[in-house]
Amino acid sequence: MKEAISGTWVYITVLIFMVILIAYVSITINYSHAFEASESIIKAIEQYEGYNSTSRKAIADYIHNNTHTVKHVCNDGITGFQDTYGGIDNDKRQANGSNEKFDYCIARTVNVGADKVARCYYHTMVFFSFSLPVLGDLYAFQIPGETSGLRLVSDDTWGACQ
């Protein structure tokens, strides 16, 4: 009887180790996909010089081609910004006070440097979730990002940097 009980402890220990390992691999893979999506959003905004219809189309194409399906409420994402927008497909919607779930969230700040030139900085938030097949989504994580300072902005959401 003693050997049967000790064998059970070995099985339980192996099972716990496997669950921890699977959770770690799942979080790592989801994080890398979300980080890549965040970098692609930043790249599109910088490439097309602002959050305009062309950059939104590039972002929507990336999200659809890479099957990034995690959506979350923007109110929990970018805090401290008055104008936060959420992106769904090729559309942007005001996210302040909204409980709607978005593919990504974006906000903009304008800073004037020592050279007296206004630069726009776009703050992004992409989400990924920890989910298990039987239990579903357990927790949503956030990946923040920020563009470099853009001077000549063609932005149909906020307008020019001033």
pLDDT tens-digit profile of 3-31? 666 778 888 999 999 988 988 888 888 88
User: Does the global pTM surpass 0.85?
Assistant: no
Whether residue 51 contacts residue 85, with contact meaning beta carbons closer than 8 Å, is answered with yes
The answer to whether residue 158 is domain-embedded is no
Q: What kind and span of H or E run contains 13?
A: helix 2-47
Q: Who wins on pLDDT, 45 or 70? A: 45
Q: What is the pLDDT of residue 2?
A: 60
Rounded Cα gap, residues 63 and 55, in angstroms? 12
The answer to whether residue 162 is domain-embedded is no
- Closest listed residue to residue 105, CA positions, set 72, 137, 82, 140: 72
The answer to whether residue 23 is domain-embedded is yes
The answer to whether residue 115 is domain-embedded is yes
Residue 53 has pLDDT above 60, yes or no: yes
The answer to whether residue 151 is domain-embedded is no
The answer to whether residue 110 is domain-embedded is yes
User: Of the spans 77-81, 98-102, 155-159, which averages the highest pLDDT?
Assistant: 98-102
Find how far residue 138's CA is from the centre of its chain: 17
Q: Who wins on pLDDT, 117 or 2? A: 117
The answer to whether residue 116 is domain-embedded is yes
Q: How many structural domains compose the chain?
A: 1
Q: What is the pLDDT of residue 43?
A: 94
Residue 33 has pLDDT above 60, yes or no: yes
Residue range of the domain that includes 34? 2-146
